[in-house]
């Protein structure tokens, strides 16, 4: 997408935004599906003269399926516009459009029908199948090129809008200071993982993490230093959790959370210890801390989901919060596992059961 502030990036290569968009459209993928070699030759001549670089030609719907699906429904080839003959041997153009549009990945890809049959019934079937327009035979160069340019532009705008929406959604889900997930997205993610847990009961763990004596830190070093501290802690937490579904989030203030799907008690304890060690390794001075360390430290509450239909995700949060409270009561700079009568932040007590 070209924003006003990006104009300079186009000016230095001598392109206006409109010309850049037109040239970009000519690099988009066009697929022609027609059982006439003559039509292929005619369109190849038109497109070549107009500067379209990426045009594929196939003689049947079956070949089209191979082209766009790579013989594997899970991997779709990129295609931005499909020109489809209605009347073909084997699978008809209308049936082909139905199958293509049944795949969510191609809902936004425009399909233009090519046909000598302009009867109302035929065109209605084509539109009902998912076609957006039709071109009549015999083909006329000006009509073909104008329609193609128009639909590629719409396709381009659709892609740019989706990208912009994705970027906006990421911003909505991120904490502005630390650039990790915010509380809103934490709630969404935990609800999703809890539903997955209830369906198939894989282990699910939650860690609540609080910076020890953070108010004292702010009072001593100032709020700018406090912000830097929060960003460093967030970076550490992001580095600790590496699997795609793991989530590090800022829960609020100086409190963070880690959602750990498919992580049992032993795995959660290992992560808690890794968090303590990683924060300690930052060696952020904290002269007013009374944890026994002269550096910034954290306390961690660990909770593991159990098969209790009455608890819900809020119950998991409550358990990890209670464990965090007990870690603080025990002197901070340690972790506590929900349900344990004693926990001193030393994972050695779990070595016998965790191996």
Active site residues: 254
Report residue 106 as tokens.
Answer: 């191609």
Pairwise CA distance, residues 234 & 228, whole Å: 10
3-state DSSP assignment of residue 135: strand
CA dist., res. 343 & res. 327, Å (int): 8
Question: Who's near 184: CB < 8 A, 6+ residues apart?
Answer: 172, 173
Residues comprising the chain, all counted: 355
Give the β-pairing of 54-58 and 81-85: unpaired
Q: Which of 28, 27, 36 is nearest to 114 (CA)?
A: 36
CB within 8 Å of 11: residues ≥ 6 apart: none
Ramachandran angles phi, psi of 166, nearest 5°: -65, -45
Based on C-alpha coordinates, what's the Rg of the chain? 29
């Amino acid at each position: 997408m070209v924003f006003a502030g990006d104009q300079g990036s186009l000016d230095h290569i001598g392109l206006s935004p409109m010309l850049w968009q037109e040239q970009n459209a000519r690099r988009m993928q066009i697929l022609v599906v027609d059982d006439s070699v003559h039509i292929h030759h005619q369109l190849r001549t038109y497109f070549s003269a107009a500067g379209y670089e990426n045009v594929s030609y196939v003689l049947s719907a079956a070949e089209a399926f191979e082209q766009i699906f790579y013989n594997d429904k899970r991997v779709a080839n990129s295609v931005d516009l499909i020109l489809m003959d209605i009347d073909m041997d084997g699978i008809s153009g209308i049936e082909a459009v139905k199958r293509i549009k049944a795949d969510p990945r191609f809902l936004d890809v425009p399909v233009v029908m090519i046909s000598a049959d302009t009867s109302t019934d035929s065109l209605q079937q084509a539109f009902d199948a998912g076609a957006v327009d039709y071109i009549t035979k015999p083909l006329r160069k000006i009509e073909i090129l104008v329609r193609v340019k128009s639909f590629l532009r719409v396709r381009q705008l659709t892609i740019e809008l989706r990208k912009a929406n994705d970027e906006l959604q990421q911003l909505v889900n991120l904490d502005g200071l630390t650039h990790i997930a915010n509380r809103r997205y934490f709630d969404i993610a935990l609800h999703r993982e809890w539903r997955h847990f209830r369906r198939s009961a894989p282990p699910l763990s939650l860690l609540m993490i609080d910076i020890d004596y953070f108010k004292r830190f702010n009072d001593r070093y100032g709020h700018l230093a406090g912000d830097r501290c929060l960003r460093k802690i967030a970076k550490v937490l992001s580095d600790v959790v590496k699997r795609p579904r793991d989530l590090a989030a800022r829960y609020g203030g100086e409190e963070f959370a880690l959602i750990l799907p498919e992580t049992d008690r032993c795995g959660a304890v290992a992560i808690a210890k890794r968090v303590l060690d990683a924060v300690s390794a930052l060696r952020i001075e904290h002269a007013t801390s009374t944890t026994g360390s002269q550096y910034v430290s954290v306390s961690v509450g660990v909770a593991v989901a159990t098969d209790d239909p009455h608890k819900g995700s809020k119950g998991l949060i409550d358990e990890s919060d209670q464990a965090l409270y007990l870690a603080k009561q025990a002197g901070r700079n340690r972790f506590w596992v929900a349900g344990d009568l004693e926990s001193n932040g030393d994972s050695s007590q779990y070595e016998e059961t965790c191996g």
